[in-house]
């Protein structure tokens, strides 16, 4: 087996804290995710929970390779698209979970994933200029402009300050940071790290980013 980590355009972050292992998003295909977990000596049997930041395929496309408990927003598995310009649409819909391999929990508010690790829940849109109007969502067979209300982040209250693990930040990165400060009570802006949409990462509490 190759000992070189694989990369592709997607997001997957492994958070390890205490005896908990949390997977944030699954990437676009699951190929890099499965390979890179193996390099860490892990399999999906070792993952306590999968948290999906939102329902675009580059964050949920790897679901068929996974198993276990999933926590996400109820919009995550709706049909989604990006309208770049008139009559040009890109499908962003990801795969649905497998009832035989996954258990599913929908949450709109903050959820404690482990000690010192919580989700943001739906993020207040204080600055609407951070949002883009190019996304669409289909609900009850009706297509509408998608404000991506399922866009959430994970907050780690580490010894170094707040670590914010964000997906695409469709809610706006400033909105996300302000929301994280509000729900944690860290109002002095002392967030130290921001992990965003680039690659497979692992974060070990007390050990920093790998």
Q: What is the pLDDT of residues 133-156, one digit of tens each?
A: 999 999 989 999 999 999 999 999
Interatomic CA distance for residues 210 and 204, integer angstroms: 8
Residue 167 Cα distances to 52, 75, 187, 196, angstroms? 9, 15, 22, 6
Q: What is the mean pLDDT of residues 169-189?
A: 86
Q: pLDDT tens digits, residue range 51-93?
A: 999 999 999 999 999 999 999 999 999 999 999 888 889 999 9
Residue 97: which of 69, 119, 125 has the closest Cα?
Answer: 69
Model confidence pLDDT, tens digit, residues 39-53? 999 999 999 999 999
d(CA 90, CA 142): 17
| Cα–Cα distance for residue pair 206/115, rounded to 1 Å | 13
Q: CATH number of 12-197: 3.60.15.10, 3.90.79.10, 3.40.50.2300, 3.40.50.1100?
A: 3.60.15.10
Residue 190 pLDDT > 60, yes or no?
A: no
Which residue do the tokens 């860290």 mark?
A: 186
Bridge partner list, 153: 166
Tokens 């482990």 -> residue = 114
Question: Distance between CA 182 and CA 170 in Å, rounded?
Answer: 19
Kindly tell me the number of DSSP H helices and DSSP E strands found in the chain: 3, 16
* Contact between residue 9 and residue 197 where contact means Cβ atoms under 8 Å apart: no
- Please check the confidence at residue 198 and state whether its pLDDT lies above 80: no
> Residue 171 — pLDDT band, cuts 50, 70, 90?
very high
Between 172 and 158, the higher pLDDT residue = 172
Number of Cβ atoms within 10 Å of the Cβ of 117:
25
Residue 210 has a pLDDT of 37
Average pLDDT over all residues of the chain:
87
Q: Where are the domains of the chain?
A: 12-197
């Amino acid at each position: 087996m190759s000992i070189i980590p694989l990369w592709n355009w997607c997001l997957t972050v492994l958070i390890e804290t205490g005896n908990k292992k949390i997977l944030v998003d699954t990437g676009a295909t699951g190929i890099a995710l499965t390979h890179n977990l193996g390099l860490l000596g892990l399999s999906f049997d070792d993952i306590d929970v999968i948290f999906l930041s939102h329902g675009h395929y580059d964050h949920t496309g790897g679901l068929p390779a996974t198993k276990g408990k999933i926590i996400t927003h109820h919009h995550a598995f709706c049909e989604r698209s990006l309208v770049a310009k008139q009559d040009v649409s890109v499908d962003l819909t990801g795969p649905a979970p497998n009832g035989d391999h996954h258990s599913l929990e929908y949450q709109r508010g903050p959820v404690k994933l482990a000690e010192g690790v919580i989700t943001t829940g739906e993020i207040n849109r204080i600055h609407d200029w951070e949002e883009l109007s190019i996304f669409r969502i289909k609900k009850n067979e009706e297509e509408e402009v998608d404000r991506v209300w399922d866009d959430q982040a994970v907050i780690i209250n580490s010894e170094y300050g707040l670590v914010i693990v964000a997906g695409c930040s469709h809610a706006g990165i400033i909105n996300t940071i302000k929301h994280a400060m509000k729900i944690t009570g860290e109002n002095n802006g002392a967030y130290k790290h921001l992990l965003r949409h680039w690659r497979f990462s692992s974060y070990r509490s007390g050990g920093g980013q790998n």
